[in-house]
Chain A
Amino acid sequence: MLTYIIRRVLYSIPVLVATSFLIFTFVSISGDPLGRLRANPNITQQQFHSIEHSKNLDRPIVVRYGYWVKDAVTNQFGTTLFGQRKIWPDLRRVMGHTLQFVLTAIILSVIIGVSIGVYSALRQYSAFDYATTTISFVGFATPVFWLALMLQVVVVNIFLKWHVRVFYTSGLSSPFPGHGIHWFIDRVQHLALPVIALCILGVAGYSRYMRASMLEVLNSDFVRTARAKGLIERRVIMKHAFRNALIPLITLVALDFGAIFAGAIVTETIFTLDGMGFYFINALQASDPYPVMAWLMVVATMVIVFNLIADILYGVFDPRIRYD
């Protein structure tokens, strides 16, 4: 088991390095960071060249990559191009906020999705099954941003009509949220809608997958053996069927992790949350490549780490993988 873990960790490192190079090249090539400056008639050629030189932008790409990596590691990703604001403190702050609600969304969607999926499999073709399948299909077809918008619309209109504030529709916290439990409740009220928006897609996906996986396992021979041994049905389902059906879901959740950040970008923009997504959009709108690169790097790292954890979990649950 230990060798398996070590091997997975070692494998991740070149992936990380390759990804960093990819990010850097991609952003540098597709965007001309000095485009605005170039177009600015107030800056003379000389000034332009000196800026270029000071940022090492006149060197070949590999060298620039080297500088960037150095900057990233030693100087915490350095500063933004325009405004010279330090990148890392901002990024760290928004990371915390985003993780709060992204992790909540993942955990909730897994729990709810798995439960629905298992129950649907056990009660195949029942009204519950058909209803949840339909809802799942609709959930798949709904772009996250529109779902978020509709949630907003509903809540806002409820507020306007009945003066009941169910949830907040913007911001992370109220101006004076208080401490302890009050702060917590306030935060929950603010994050409820974004979490719901992110959850729905996850629930749709996981419930369908779990249902299919569960049905396949329920038809397998070893479940038949378990019944033939005289085990009570509940044990057959929980200990034998469910455990096996759950394993492939781990990979699915891991694969989804990257997509969750995409959802976060959209939801944070709509709900104006001070999170990574919002940060990213702002950096893009400012055409500032350095925070963009830093953001992509951080997200890629998180995805790789998450995948690593998922791989290890997979090894824990499925003994066949361990002796790879």
Chain B
Amino acid sequence: MPEPVLSIRDLVVEFSTEDGVVQAVDGISYDLYPGETLGIVGESGSGKSVSTMSLLGLIPQPPGKVVRGEAFYKGTDLLKISKKELRHIRGNEIALIFQDPMTSLNPVLKIGAQIGEAIRTHHPDEKDDRIKERGIELLRTVGVPNPDRRYEQYPHEFSGGMRQRAMIAMSIANSPSVLIADEPTTALDVTIQAQILQVLKKAQDETHAATILITHDLGLIAELADRVVVMYAGKIVELGEVHTIFESPRHPYTVGLMESLPKLNADDDWLRPIPGQPPSLISRPPGCPFHPRCFLSQGRIRCREEEPPLRPIGGSSHLTACHFAEELEGHTGPLVEPVGAGV
């Protein structure tokens, strides 16, 4: 087993708000191995974005605070190093791709200038024309037509898909070891989403970077991810290889997520949402955070009083945080076609 390039241990992030302290991330731990794509799935408010942004110190510190935890990147704890050192890592070793490319690019600067800036910050001695060459090259890699002309244009002259390509180009400019893509396709049209998927794959191939893919879109996970982390209410509730998770989900939340997607091949009259609302992150009731909405729990006392630890089930690489995960044994994931008899 190769060494993980990123190791997160017991990360806790809080936000102080008018109504109280919000526990956005409540003790998560996972590893990221070189070259792999780790998908993080969850609803809004599950803490998936906050957990990665806090690694790079991008959480505004007055309301936000990393209470405890460790995040080892190639031996260095990102949560303990100085701002200066962190800056060297941002955009250089660990790069971010954001959700909405329209608002994530500076509207008054040329695209080329912004890409060039990404390069120049970490390679200050490079010559200007070399930087421009590299920038145009990057645009070509991500599939922007007429890259030399586009280099001199402004973001509003790009279409949505092209802007996201430019963002991806910017992120791989310094050949990072880790790419974090936060909902990269959510703001785009469905048809463009497929294209951007291809670009992401290409970016991964070019840089051999380990990728963290944050999304609520299970389809994206199925396409790109090697392993999956399922988050709920700031905690990891399930973790495993992508096939395992899809074929045999072992947490009622994961099951619920998959069930709530409409399926082409089934003939349902009703959609099946997960009933209830996500919990308040301010005052957590004891026990499992999911139990009020859980079909498996059915009000059992253990669910209500004892918080389930993240523990292995059926093999060391599949983890679940449910007391009664074993009861899901034998259940095939609702999104997987049942294998016909005789095949």
Asked if A247 contacts B170 (CB within 8 A), the reply is: no
CB distance from B91 to the nearest CB of A (A): 4
Indicate whether B262 reaches chain A with its CB closer than 8 angstroms: no
CA separation between A240 and B106, bound complex, in Å? 7
Q: Which residues of B contact A244 (CB under 8 A)?
A: 106-108
- With a 10 A CB-CB cut-off, give which of B98, B100, B106, B109 has the most chain A CB atoms: B106
Q: How many contacting A-B pairs (Cβ < 8 A)?
A: 71
Asked if B104 contacts A222 (CB within 8 A), the reply is: yes
On whether A319 and B90 interact (CB within 8 A), knowing A221-B98, A244-B106, the answer reads no
CA separation between A222 and B167, bound complex, in Å? 11
Indicate whether A153 reaches chain B with its CB closer than 8 angstroms: no
Residue of B nearest to A241 (CB): B106
Asked if B88 contacts A230 (CB within 8 A), the reply is: yes
Asked if B108 contacts A230 (CB within 8 A), the reply is: no
Indicate whether A270 reaches chain B with its CB closer than 8 angstroms: no
Partner among B87, B98, B156 whose Cβ is within 8 Å of the Cβ of A224 = B98
CA separation between A279 and B87, bound complex, in Å? 60
Indicate whether B122 reaches chain A with its CB closer than 8 angstroms: yes
Indicate whether B117 reaches chain A with its CB closer than 8 angstroms: yes
Q: Which residues, 227 to 245 on A, are CB-close (under 8 Å) to B?
A: 227-232, 239-240, 243-244
Interface string of B197-208 (1 = CB under 8 A from A): 000000000000
Interface of A is mostly: helix
Partner among B58, B89, B106, B122 whose Cβ is within 8 Å of the Cβ of A222 = B106
What class of interface size applies to chain A in its complex with B?
Answer: 20 to 34
Q: Which residues of A contact B229 (CB under 8 A)?
A: none
Residue of B nearest to A124 (CB): B62
CA separation between A230 and B91, bound complex, in Å? 5
Q: Which residues of B contact A119 (CB under 8 A)?
A: none
CA separation between A323 and B15, bound complex, in Å? 42
On whether A222 and B107 interact (CB within 8 A), knowing A228-B91, A230-B90, A320-B154, the answer reads yes
CA separation between A243 and B167, bound complex, in Å? 21
Asked if A320 contacts B170 (CB within 8 A), the reply is: no
Indicate whether B105 reaches chain A with its CB closer than 8 angstroms: yes
Asked if A227 contacts B108 (CB within 8 A), the reply is: no
Partner among A220, A222, A231, A243 whose Cβ is within 8 Å of the Cβ of B121 = A231
Partner among A220, A226, A317 whose Cβ is within 8 Å of the Cβ of B108 = A317
CB distance from B30 to the nearest CB of A (A): 21
CB distance from A111 to the nearest CB of B (A): 21
Q: Which residues of B contact A231 (CB under 8 A)?
A: 87, 91, 117, 121
CA separation between A180 and B271, bound complex, in Å? 85
Indicate whether A174 reaches chain B with its CB closer than 8 angstroms: no
Interface string of B280-321 (1 = CB under 8 A from A): 000000000000000000000000000000000000000000
CA separation between A224 and B91, bound complex, in Å? 12
CA separation between A222 and B118, bound complex, in Å? 13
Indicate whether A32 reaches chain B with its CB closer than 8 angstroms: no
Q: Which residues of A contact B96 (CB under 8 A)?
A: 225, 228
Q: Which residues, 150 to 209 on A, are CB-close (under 8 Å) to B?
A: none
Partner among A225, A230, A232 whose Cβ is within 8 Å of the Cβ of B92 = A230
CA separation between A320 and B110, bound complex, in Å? 11
Residue of B nearest to A243 (CB): B108
On whether A227 and B58 interact (CB within 8 A), knowing A318-B108, A319-B156, the answer reads yes
CA separation between A165 and B294, bound complex, in Å? 82
CA separation between A238 and B74, bound complex, in Å? 33
Indicate whether B265 reaches chain A with its CB closer than 8 angstroms: no
Asked if B104 contacts A221 (CB within 8 A), the reply is: yes
Q: Which residues of B contact A247 (CB under 8 A)?
A: 108
Q: Which residues of A contact B91 (CB under 8 A)?
A: 228-231
Indicate whether B56 reaches chain A with its CB closer than 8 angstroms: yes
On whether A229 and B103 interact (CB within 8 A), knowing A319-B108, A319-B156, the answer reads no
Asked if B104 contacts A230 (CB within 8 A), the reply is: no
CA separation between A220 and B56, bound complex, in Å? 17
Q: Which residues of A contact B106 (CB under 8 A)?
A: 222, 225-226, 240, 244
Q: Which residues of B contact A243 (CB under 8 A)?
A: 108
Asked if B90 contacts A227 (CB within 8 A), the reply is: yes
Partner among A221, A227, A229, A318 whose Cβ is within 8 Å of the Cβ of B170 = A229
CA separation between A229 and B121, bound complex, in Å? 8
- With a 10 A CB-CB cut-off, give which of A226, A228, A239 has the most chain B CB atoms: A228
Q: Which residues, 268 to 324 on A, are CB-close (under 8 Å) to B?
A: 317-320
CB distance from A314 to the nearest CB of B (A): 11
CB distance from A213 to the nearest CB of B (A): 14
Interface string of B104-132 (1 = CB under 8 A from A): 11111100000001100110000000000
CA separation between A247 and B107, bound complex, in Å? 12
7 closest A-B pairs by CB: A230-B90, A229-B91, A230-B91, A221-B103, A221-B104, A228-B96, A222-B106
Q: Taking A230-B92, A230-B118 as given, write out 5 further A-B residue pairs in contact, using a Cβ cutoff of 8 Å, ordered by the A residue number.
A: A222-B103, A228-B58, A229-B117, A229-B118, A230-B89
The 20 listed contacts between A and B (C-beta, < 8 Å) are A221-B98, A221-B103, A221-B104, A224-B58, A225-B96, A225-B106, A225-B170, A228-B90, A228-B98, A229-B118, A229-B121, A230-B87, A230-B89, A230-B121, A232-B87, A232-B121, A240-B109, A244-B108, A317-B108, A318-B108
